[in-house]
A and B are shown apart, each in its own frame.
Chain A
Amino acid sequence: MRGDPEIRRVVVSSLTLSGAVGVFALSFGVASVGAGASVWQTCALSLFVFTGASQFSAMSVIGTGGSMLAAYGGAVLLAIRNMVYGLALSPSARSLGKSLPHRLLAAQFVIDETTALALAESSPRFRKIAFWTTGIGLFSFWNLGTLIGALAGSAIDPQKFGLDIAFPAAFVAMLRPHLGTKLGRQTAMLGGALCLISISFVPVGVPILIAATAIVLGVRNGR
């Protein structure tokens, strides 16, 4: 089994991705304490929320002076896609975990990367291997990276190191894959415009929620 080159391929690609994402977690740790969270709160976000875009979004809103409710709202909207991923994975849910507790544990690992790598495999067996190796690998690296970043971040002045830009820079990088379609680009433009227009009139963080209404563009056309 250990010598099976196919298994090796799946495991290597899962762990490579996990390592890369773990390095990215350093920037979440640093930015999160820079935005006002404690080291413990930052680590709790990575352990229990465990979905990068939502974590970044919540701390970005807090960092610019938004309320906890506004921070929560934007982060939850971004977390909805994990429900859609769960749906996409659910035909193979029984192979991901045989018992209900096993599947309930699997649920915590339903995020962009695990879904992408699991669905890239066609056989249930490899799907399971890809899901669990990516899930456990990424969870470990993500939390280790967060802890190191948070400890480092609490020791430095975030402004001096330009770390306030870590949030928008991370968002730019995370946005890119969503600009591949015309509909994605139109939605991003409308969302951005709604945010800029409303910034001066509503409390900090609320423009992010207003921007979410841009998804109505999806009602109209297909591609």
Chain B
Amino acid sequence: MVGEMTTNLWPMVIALAASAYLLKMFGLVVLGSRRLPRIFDRCLALIPAALLSALVLKDTFSVGQSLVVDVRLAGFAVAVVATWRRAPLIVVVVLAASATAILRAI
């Protein structure tokens, strides 16, 4: 965590805002009713599965470029259980953070 120093993130924020809008706009306004080839459609639909899974593992098991197992594993486990019990998003986050905070405190 680098909470102490606020880096200049504006170039990323602006580039991402522009790209995100252009993607939305491209689909709705520019491409119109044209259809993508099915194979293309199918691969694009898989992006969240691949990336979200990678993000989960990165944030649970790594510090910088090294793999570590620490108290975050408990928070991750709580998040998995809460998600499986179909808890709302915010409940998942709050439970996982509480578990992690409590374990860090003791």
Which chain A positions have C-beta within 8 A of B51? 53, 57, 74, 77-78, 191, 208, 211-212
- Identify the 5 closest CB pairs spanning chains A and B, nearest first: A86-B27, A162-B100, A191-B50, A162-B101, A211-B54
Binding site for A on B (CB under 8 A): 1-3, 5-7, 9-13, 15-17, 19-21, 23-29, 31-36, 39, 41-67, 72, 75-76, 78-80, 82-84, 87-90, 92-102, 104
Query: Which applies to chain A's interface (DSSP): helix, strand, loop or mixed?
Result: helix
Known A-B contacts: A35-B2, A107-B25. Give 12 more (CB < 8 A): A24-B89, A24-B93, A34-B1, A41-B6, A76-B20, A79-B19, A79-B24, A108-B21, A164-B59, A188-B50, A201-B65, A219-B39
How far is A165 from B79 in the complex, measured between Cα atoms in Å?
9
Task: Specify the chain A residue showing the minimal Cβ separation from B62.
Answer: A199
How far is A203 from B58 in the complex, measured between Cα atoms in Å?
12
Task: Specify the chain B residue showing the minimal Cβ separation from A175.
Answer: B52
Minimum C-beta distance from B71 to chain A (A): 8
Q: In residues 33-68 of chain A, which contact B (Cβ within 8 Å)?
A: 33-38, 41, 44-45, 48-51, 53-54, 56-58, 60, 62-65, 68
B28 touches A107 (CB 8 A): yes
Task: Specify the chain B residue showing the minimal Cβ separation from A34.
Answer: B3
A179 contacts chain B at the CB level, 8 A cutoff: yes
A83 touches B2 (CB 8 A): no
Query: Which applies to chain B's interface (DSSP): helix, strand, loop or mixed?
Result: helix
Which chain A positions have C-beta within 8 A of B27? 82-90, 110
How far is A141 from B48 in the complex, measured between Cα atoms in Å?
24
Task: Specify the chain B residue showing the minimal Cβ separation from A217.
Answer: B46
Which chain A positions have C-beta within 8 A of B46? 183-184, 187, 214-215, 217-218
Q: In residues 183-223 of chain A, which contact B (Cβ within 8 Å)?
A: 183-185, 187-192, 194-196, 199-204, 207-208, 211-219, 222
Known: A108-B24, A214-B46. A173 touches B29 (CB 8 A): no
Known: A86-B31, A107-B21. A165 touches B76 (CB 8 A): yes
How far is A28 from B96 in the complex, measured between Cα atoms in Å?
14
How far is A36 from B89 in the complex, measured between Cα atoms in Å?
23
Task: Specify the chain A residue showing the minimal Cβ separation from B38.
Answer: A222
Binding site for B on A (CB under 8 A): 20-21, 23-24, 26-27, 33-38, 41, 44-45, 48-51, 53-54, 56-58, 60, 62-65, 68-69, 71-72, 74-91, 93, 96, 100, 103-104, 106-108, 110-111, 157-176, 178-179, 183-185, 187-192, 194-196, 199-204, 207-208, 211-219, 222
Which chain B positions have C-beta within 8 A of A222? 42
